[in-house]
Structure 1
């Protein structure tokens, strides 16, 4: 039987490269050869154990673009678009059951029986690998003709997450003032969407100058450094927005102290959307009275639905010649060097890192 390489997390902080079987697709499924697998900040939290105990051993990676090798008796993707071997596809990494209350009544993700990972010895859709096996029911979409895989991969699951957040909490309004906490992939995605939606101000806070420069290239109108004190950051933001403050603040920092600061920054009658704190387990003090007196809406969002991956793919493809999306991929790593990739993401040394199965190991 043919085999392919895969990065396997055996236990927290223990990565191994395995040779795993390449299995034909099941009816309704697909087998794809990975072209690029995005390295996400949540992969770091999963690897360290900060995100909780996983069903070890698992193949890492939930952001993938691949070329179809074989199809399990199907002729279209999950949007009804014809698909054939050789086509590039992008997939939603959550295997929902489609037979539970959450799937069929709430129409939400994740569902009651969602599978985020499969045991590494079983057919698998992890993207730090040569191949991904997409089971029946795991939605995938054909890339539009001419789409640059790197432009789609650049914002990985971050852009679907942002679209999910605005879907749940209300879209960016024309002319409103937006603050984004953090300029990692989630923050950059929020900046891109806000700018495209016609926000008047798109103000981003981050501590890395290179990220702030990239934020401007995607549409940020002002940048503020974390080197400033929280009080100085707020003063600068309100100098820009006026006394009403920002009407929308997006948490994309992934660190707990961002939460009380975001509540404080949000202007009266504004919205605060929590997107980056998925892996940071803990608590932070806030004053509930501030939420009441400012009439705030605070909401979280995670686990995008398949439609958000579809929307993100098409948005990236449409903007790839106008906005430098592909250039956000600053580092490529081999499957064998996944540990180095995760370390680089953890240290903030990259804008976007990807696993490239054809990249030579260091």
Structure 2
């Protein structure tokens, strides 16, 4: 008889309380489920917002929604990844644990799974069961969840560097529309979402890519990924200073402003930096509650378009792997991963991200704390 596996998981029992490490049995996969041993779990700013209680929790939950791991066991009906590639024990896979229902208006009529109201990761997370969250030793990827094989010539770090940020940005860029050659692009925020937006804007032919953010390590990485100029929040501490600096660099305003700061105050600042006829893409405010003032007259008279975008669709997860495979030898994608923590030290990882210390932090369950 096969010995029952057990696995650890980092559990947020309630907001603002230290994560707890729970250990429990790991059920074998059935049907089309796939059991994966987690190698790297990206630490996202949203995890920190869960920790603070700024995002509603369904109860005790296993954190983590960015994962790379090796297939341990496949259910009898699991023969391929989500792109139809043959799947076997030992294959490395990448997933962002969203599971659309494919039985709602958004999924079937709008054909936009990012709007599915039934795919919230929290409703599937239960510390007593094998989860598909990623702050774990093992993750169970259920039938219907998107995951893709990572080519063996592509480092895990190059994919997890942007975690869920790159799929989110690729989806947002589709909603934005084409970045025209020579466009002036301003990115608010230098975390993983901002860095992903910087990279994609640069690769799309933008003439200028200006990044507002901090600390200096993130701004240095932004330049290495294609930013032409940066504005340091630690130097330009007031909104008026940042607006003046950006307008000077961009000759009055940006053709495209991308909000990737995750801070409510960034929205009002961004609306002032969009040039006439420009576009403002909102990507980072998913977990930032609250309201803010807006002058509709400026939006109206300057013909400004405001585009919201949340989450991603399966193809954007696939394209993230393609981007990493194509550019990891030319660009410092692997170096975006700046901090590594063991699973037992997940609390320290969350706190470090809250202090904006890492460019990108990952949890590696096999690493000694």
TM-score (structure 2 length as normaliser):
0.94
Aligned mate of 1:360, from 349, 360, 368:
368
Q: CA deviation at 1:81?
A: 1.3
- CA-atom RMSD, angstroms? 1.3
Give me the whole-angstrom Cα distance separating, in 1, the residues matched to 2:178 and 2:322: 18
CA contact (8 A) 1:272 1:297 kept: yes
Would the aligned equivalents of 1:94 and 1:110 in 2 still touch at CA under 8 Å? no
| Alignment of 1:331 onto 2:334 | no
Measured against aligned partners, the alpha-carbon deviations of 1:185-240 in whole angstroms (never above 9, x if no partner) come to: 00000000001111100000113211111110100001112232433333332333
Q: CA separation in 1, counterparts of 2:314 and 2:229? A: 33
1:32 to 23, 30, 36: 36
Deviations 1:120-176 (A, max 9, x none): 112310100111000000011001231100110011001111111111121322211
* Equivalent in the alignment of 1:282: 290
For residues 130 and 102 of structure 1, the distance between their equivalents in structure 2, rounded to whole angstroms, comes to: 33
- Structure 1 runs not aligned, ≥5 long: none
Instruction: Give the corresponding residue for 1:193.
Output: 200
Q: Secondary structure at the match of 2:185?
A: strand
The alignment partner of 1:278 has SS state of: helix
For this pair of structures, how many residues does the alignment match?
359
Question: After superposition, what is the alpha-carbon deviation per residue over 1:298-345, rounded to whole angstroms, capped at 9, x for unaligned?
Answer: 011111111111111110121111110111111111111111100000
- 2:215–2:357 contact (8 Å) kept in structure 1: no
Look up the match of 1:103.
107
Does the 8 Å CA contact 2:130/2:138 hold for their aligned counterparts? no
The 2-side partners of 1:265 and 1:57 are apart by 41
CA contact (8 A) 1:92 1:306 kept: no
Aligned residue for 1:25, secondary structure, equals coil
Q: Answer yes or no: is the 8 Å Cα contact 1:26–1:136 preserved in 2.
A: no
Q: Which residue of 1 aligns with 2:93?
A: 89
* Aligned-partner SS, 1:75: coil
2:138 matches 1:134: no
The whole-number CA distance in structure 2 between the counterparts of 1:74 and 1:207 is 44
Aligned to 2:121: 116
2:249 corresponds, among 237, 240, 255, to 240
SS of 2:254's partner is coil
2:173 aligned residue (162, 166, 173): 166
Q: Is the 8 A contact 2:264 2:292 kept in 1?
A: yes
User: In the alignment, is the contact (CA less than 8 A) between 1:274 and 1:301 conserved in 2?
Assistant: yes
Q: Superposition pairs for residues 16-27 of structure 1, below 5 Å?
A: 16-27=20-31
| Secondary structure in structure 1 of the residue aligned to 2:21 | strand
Question: Contact (CA 8 Å) 1:30, 1:135: kept in 2 or not?
Answer: yes
Name segments (4+ residues, structure 1) moved above 4 Å.
none
Choose from 45, 56, 74 the match for 2:49.
Answer: 45
- Note if contact 2:8-2:136 (Cα within 8 Å) is conserved in structure 1: yes
TM-score in terms of structure 1 length: 0.96
2:159 aligned residue: 152
1:314 partnered with 2:322? yes
